[in-house]
């Protein structure tokens, strides 16, 4: 079951001026399942995105990149139940057909639509089902549909993921609301699975392009469930400008910092929710690497720990077999690492120092920490002043069961 995670209360999800969401059922994988989400954006909205680095990227990712380059995006279409990945040229054609159909509904150009898909790979997109559901999705458009939309984009997720924040910028109340889906096949190489964060702030396109990368780097690029980078990963940042604040054009301004903080707050909540709702998860784990030379080596070591099956299964069993953490640090690939200078902590308990077991450590201390549903692993490298944090979950029996039965 998800670790200390509940679906957000609809009342806590603030509408964003200039954004409407509509949900419908196409029956892509299951009859009656709400599996289509349509998002309409006000004219003048700015959109930026980062996408999977998986070389087998899905057809909608390819089309998204093409359409996003032209600017002036007015609509997004998300389907679950089918990834439209590993589908060759026909997959591109079908993704483009969905864009054309949405464009006809709104009286816009097909290049102003971004398509997204998630679900089973190597299966053709059921285009006819999707096209039939689009009018119902349009009829359902409303600014307060965030909760329903967050449910509609789920695949193996148990809990819907959405969050909101508000901040004052230039004397205006700025709203940030976003949603995401992801539970398995989670490991970043830009962002993780599908994430959509919107704001009514006015910000230049140049800075939005910068923000989407900076925000992804502190949120979606800091979570792993199983070390598998999806073919469909997409993180989209949308600014409608409807708050009528003075447009943010200076990355060194306090307004930029305030907007980045609000966007990061929402995105971090969504990213952490993915680890809390990891397939079969029973533990939520924070891996902190401290006093490294640079962020790259800190994240390299953090991910070696966080994606280790041996570490993750030990945490599931609440077994303080903590040599597995040392092994992961050692094979992370930081070749000049002096292990005699490293301290390793489990929660507040010093586990290892001077290249071996800490003299003060007892098995009972480790066992007590391991029983908690939320656990922090800290490795202090003592070779610099840079830190990095990664979030993950344990591996339970259910992870194997969920993925063994994914297509049934």
Q: What is the mean pLDDT of residues 193-210?
A: 95
Burial group, residue 377, by CB count within 10 angstroms (0-12, 13-18, 19+):
buried
Average pLDDT of span 275-281? 78
Tell me: pLDDT of 169 over 50.
yes
Query: Would you call 192 a catalytic residue per the annotation?
Result: yes
From residue 408, give the alpha-carbon distance in Å to each of 8, 37, 405.
Answer: 29, 24, 5
Coil/strand/helix, residue 188: coil
CA–CA distance, 229 with 220 (Å, rounded to integer):
12
At 155-168, the pLDDT tens digits run 878 889 999 999 99
Residue ranges of domains in the chain, CATH in brackets: 10-276 (3.60.70.12), 284-404 (3.10.20.340)
Asked if residue 238 lies in contact with residue 72, where contact means CB atoms within 8 angstroms, the answer is no
Residue 218, token pair as written in the block: 């502190």
What percent of the chain is modeled with pLDDT above 70?
94
From 187, 185, 222, select the one nearest 391 (Cα to Cα).
Answer: 222
The confidence score (pLDDT) of residue 226 equals: 59
Report whether 289 contacts 298 (CB < 8 A). yes
- 70, pLDDT greater than 70: yes
Confidence label for 387 from pLDDT (cuts 50, 70 and 90): very high
Look at residue 155 in the predicted model and tell me its pLDDT: 80
Cα separation, 190 vs 237, in Å, equals: 14
Query: Does residue 406 register a pLDDT over 70?
Result: no
Mean pLDDT along residues 268-293 = 90
Average pLDDT over residues 119-132: 94
pLDDT score for 184: 55
Per-residue model confidence (pLDDT) at position 228: 58
47 vs 358: CA distance, rounded Å? 51
The mean of the pLDDT values for the chain is 91
Give me the phi and psi of 125, to 5 degrees please: -65, 125
pLDDT at residue 192 is higher than 50: no
CA distance 76 to 20: 10
- What pLDDT score does 405 carry? 65
Give the C-alpha separation, 101 to 130, whole Å: 10
**Mean pLDDT value across residues 55-64:** 90
pTM listed for this prediction: 0.91
Query: pLDDT band for position 191 (50/70/90)?
Result: very low
Three-state secondary structure of 194-237: EEEEEECCCECHHHHHHHHHHHHHHCHHHECCCCCCCCCCEEEE
Residue 375 has pLDDT above 80, yes or no: yes
Torsion sign across C-alpha atoms 248, 250, 256, 260: positive
User: What pLDDT does residue 158 have?
Assistant: 80
Residues 211-263 have pLDDT tens digits of 999 999 999 888 876 555 667 788 999 999 999 999 999 999 999 999 999 99
Contacts of residue 71, defined as CB under 8 A and 6 or more positions apart, other chains included, come to 47, 205
- Residue bearing the bigger pLDDT, 340 or 7: 340
Q: What are phi and psi of 288, to 5 degrees?
A: -115, 125
What is the distance of C-alpha 352 from the center of its chain?
A: 32
Asked whether the predicted pLDDT for residue 1 surpasses 80, the reply is no
Q: What angle do CA 81, 21, 142 make, to 5 degrees?
A: 140
pLDDT at 278 over 80: no
- Please tell me which residue in 37, 98, 118, 192 is annotated as part of the active site: 192
* Whether the predicted pLDDT of 189 surpasses 70: no
Does residue 186 carry a pLDDT above 90? no
3-state secondary structure of 21: strand
Q: Rounded distance, CA 17 to CA 311, Å?
A: 45
Indicate the pLDDT class of residue 403, thresholds 50, 70 and 90: low
Q: What is the DSSP letter of 297?
A: H
pLDDT digits (tens, 9 = 90+) for 142-158: 999 999 999 999 887 88
- Determine the Cα–Cα distance for residues 348 and 125; give it in Å rounded to an integer: 50
């Amino acid at each position: 079951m998800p670790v200390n995670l509940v679906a957000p209360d609809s009342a806590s999800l603030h509408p964003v001026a200039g954004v409407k969401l509509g949900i419908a059922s196409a029956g892509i994988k299951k009859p009656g399942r709400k599996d289509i989400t349509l998002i309409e954006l006000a004219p003048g909205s700015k959109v930026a995105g980062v996408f999977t680095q998986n070389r087998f990227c899905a057809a909608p990712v390819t089309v998204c990149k093409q359409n996003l380059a032209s600017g002036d995006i007015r609509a997004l279409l998300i389907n679950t139940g089918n990834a439209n990945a590993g589908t060759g040229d026909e997959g591109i054609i079908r993704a483009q057909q969905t864009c054309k159909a949405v464009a006809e509904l709104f009286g816009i150009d097909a290049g102003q639509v971004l398509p997204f898909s998630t679900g089973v790979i190597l299966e053709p997109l059921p285009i006819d089902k999707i096209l039939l559901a689009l009018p119902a999705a349009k009829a359902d458009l409303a600014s307060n549909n965030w909760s329903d939309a967050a449910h509609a984009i789920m695949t193996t997720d148990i809990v819907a993921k959405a969050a909101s924040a508000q901040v004052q910028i230039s004397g205006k109340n700025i709203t940030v609301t976003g949603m995401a889906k992801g539970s398995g096949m989670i490991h970043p190489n830009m962002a993780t699975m599908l994430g959509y964060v919107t704001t009514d702030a006015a910000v230049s396109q140049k800075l939005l392009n910068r923000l989407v990368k900076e925000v992804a780097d502190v949120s979606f690029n800091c979570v792993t469930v199983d070390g598998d980078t999806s073919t469909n990963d997409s993180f989209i940042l949308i600014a409608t400008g409807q708050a009528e604040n003075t447009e943010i054009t200076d990355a060194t301004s306090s307004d930029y910092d305030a907007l980045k903080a609000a966007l990061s707050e929402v995105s971090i909540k969504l990213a952490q929710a993915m680890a809390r709702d990891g397939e079969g998860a029973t533990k939520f784990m924070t891996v902190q690497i401290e006093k490294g030379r640079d962020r790259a080596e800190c994240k390299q070591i953090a991910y070696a720990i966080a994606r280790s099956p041996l570490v993750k299964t030990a945490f599931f069993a609440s077994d303080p077999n903590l040599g597995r953490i040392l092994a992961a640090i050692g094979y992370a690939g930081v070749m000049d690492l002096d292990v005699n200078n490293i301290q390793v902590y489990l929660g507040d308990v010093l586990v290892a120092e001077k290249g071996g077991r800490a003299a003060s450590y007892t098995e009972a201390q480790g066992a007590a920490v391991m029983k908690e549903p939320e656990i922090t692993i800290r490795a202090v490298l003592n070779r610099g002043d840079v830190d990095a944090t990664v979030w993950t979950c344990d591996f339970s029996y259910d992870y194997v069961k969920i993925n063994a039965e994914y297509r049934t």
